[in-house]
Structure 1
Amino acid sequence: MSTTIAEPRAWCVVVPHHARGAHVARHRLADELDTLVPADRLDDAVAIAAELVGNAVCHAAPLPGDVIRVAWRLLADGGLEIRVTDGGSPAGPQLRVATPDALDGRGLTIVAALATGWGVERDGLGQCVWATL
């Protein structure tokens, strides 16, 4: 009897701490996962990555080199984890209630709605906001 062990698949990209960083992350994630996850899950993953990178650009300091690190990996249970690491901010990420006419304030609410879980980890270099789906 033979056993097949699936190797974990993981990717990482460093993007500019700038609005175009979300564009780069979205396209790279979509290209890498296009044939590996169902289309609806891919759409959710792209939206989550874009929101997390957008939040990092707007609310957090960059990592050294004026960048943000975006990583994702396929989980053994068939899920997907997305991690966005930046230089951190004095007030950590938190859900906000946006009024209908507000121009912003919905990012983490969108992430929470699409993800099965999300959270924040901090270390000496900054913070990582992660989401799973």
Structure 2
Amino acid sequence: MVTAVAERAWCVVVPHHARGARQARHRIAGELAGAISSELLADAVAVVAELVGNAIRHARPLPGDVIRVAWRIRAGVSHQLLEVRVTDGGATEEPRQRIVGPDSVDGRGLTIVDALADRWGVERDGLGQSVWAELSFPHRTPEPSAGV
């Protein structure tokens, strides 16, 4: 069952380490279970995994050797929007999709994000960079109760 949610936001700080990616996946899955459809939840977990993995592999950490992972649900007229955002200490190159061969073992992260998200982008400020993605899903109307 999916519960209607007006606007809610979450933010966690995870280690700039592979265990940080696991913590982020588990946290978003736990917080959003029941708030969004299981299909969208699977996509959101995959997007967070890719963005955190990229931050660990390619970017510097924030002070404290961490990465910040945030997400929020916003209600629209006919749909809800889920935004996920991963903030790190920045990298020498801006994140971008890469073209890789079929035998490559990596390099597909932002291609996966691009396929699952409605849109995504990168923002930089004096402290680092945030890579964000937006995923949308239609509002579901509650099932009518039997006998009413």
The farther-off stretch of 52-61 and 73-82 is: 73-82
CA distance in 1, matches of 2:117, 2:52: 15
> Does 2:127 correspond to 1:125?
yes
Residue matched to 2:112: 110
Among 87, 90, 111, the residue aligned to 2:89: 87
SS at match of 1:42: helix
Aligned length: 128
Greater strand fraction, Structure 1 or Structure 2: 2
**Do 2:6 and 2:73's aligned partners in 1 also have CA atoms closer than 8 Å?**
no
Name the Cα RMSD after superposition.
0.8
How does the TM-score come out when normalised to structure 2? 0.85
CA distance in 1, matches of 2:21, 2:113: 14
Structure 1 residue 7, shift from structure 2 partner:
4.5
Matches within 5 A, 1:53-72: 53-72=52-71
Structure 1: 4+ residue segments shifted above 6 A:
none
- Structure 1 gaps of 5+ residues are 1-5
Structure 1 residue 60, shift from structure 2 partner:
0.2
**Do 2:47 and 2:112's aligned partners in 1 also have CA atoms closer than 8 Å?**
yes
1:42-99: CA deviations, max 9, x gaps? 0000000000000000000000000000000001221100000000001010000111
> Does 2:25 correspond to 1:26?
yes
- Structure 2 gaps of 5+ residues are 136-148
